[in-house]
Structure formats: structure tokens, C-alpha cells
Amino acid sequence: MSTLCKFETALEILVGKWKPVILLQLFANGTMRFSELQKAIPDITKKMLTQQLRELQYHDIIHREVYNQIPPKVEYSITEYGQQLTPLLQAMNDWGTAHIAHLQELYGEEHSARSLKRN
């Protein structure tokens, strides 16, 4: 298996418009219910939230705990294995922080990371 493949694996797991937000919430707040995540991420739809949570769950990064009661209650949390992502997330965050500064130095305030995408 190529290096490339491995590299891309990391991207696959972290990519998805909402995964970073979800992970950040769970890392910050520990256990959260579905509705709490919705409140914390107002713009996400239920469909997207569910979908991204399932993918993270498949990858053993988050745990889904279902309380069999009415009304239903489902709690999400980072798995022990998922905690191993911390250094990587931290590294990405650090690089991102530095890079925003770098971009502003290059192009000034008015430019965002997305500037080029619009052409």
C-alpha cells in the first residue's frame, strides 16, 4: 500500500464539511447529546449531522450511546482510540493558525483561504 494511500486516509476521515466542527465540539465538551450538537452547530441539518456522526463512528473515533427510553436519548463521545487524534488535530490547528497569518501577510486582510476557489 502506497504512502499516498495512507496520507489520503487521514484526509478522508477528517474531511466532510462538518467533521472538524463536530470533533471540536466533542473534544471540548466531552459527552454530548444529538440535540446539544445541533444547538452547538446551528447551521447543520439533522441529515448532515447524522451522516457525519455515523462516519466518525464507523472509524471508531466517536462512540454512540443509545438510551432506550421515550423520548429517546443518544449521547456521543470521543472513543479512547479517537483521543489519539488529538496531536494530529493540534498540529493541523497550529499549522492553520500560522497559515492564516501567512496569507494575510501575503495578500492582506481582505483575502480568505477560499479566495482562489472562486474562478
Interface positions with a second copy (CB under 8 A): 1, 3-15, 20-21, 24, 54-55, 58-60, 81, 84-85, 87-89, 91-93, 95-100, 102-103, 106, 113-117
Q: Which of 9, 29, 31, 35 binds DNA (CB under 7 A)?
A: 35
* Contact stretch for DNA (CB under 7 A) within 2-10, 69-77, 79-87, 92-100: 69-77
Which residue type occupies 86? Answer: T
Rounded Cα gap, residues 16 and 99, in angstroms: 21
| Residue 44 binds which of DNA, a second copy, none (CB < 5-8 A, kind-dependent) | DNA
Rounded Cα gap, residues 91 and 85, in angstroms: 10
* Contact stretch for DNA (CB under 7 A) within 13-21, 23-31, 84-92, 98-106: 13-21
**What is the H or E stretch that residue 46 is in?**
helix 46-58
Rounded to a whole number of angstroms, the CA Rg of the chain reads 17
Asked, as a colleague might, if the bond just before 20 is cis with ω within 30 of 0, I would say no
Q: Which of 22, 23, 26, 44 binds DNA (CB under 7 A)?
A: 44
Q: Which of 10, 30, 46, 96 binds DNA (CB under 7 A)?
A: 46
E strand residue ranges, 1-119:
32-33, 62-67, 73-78
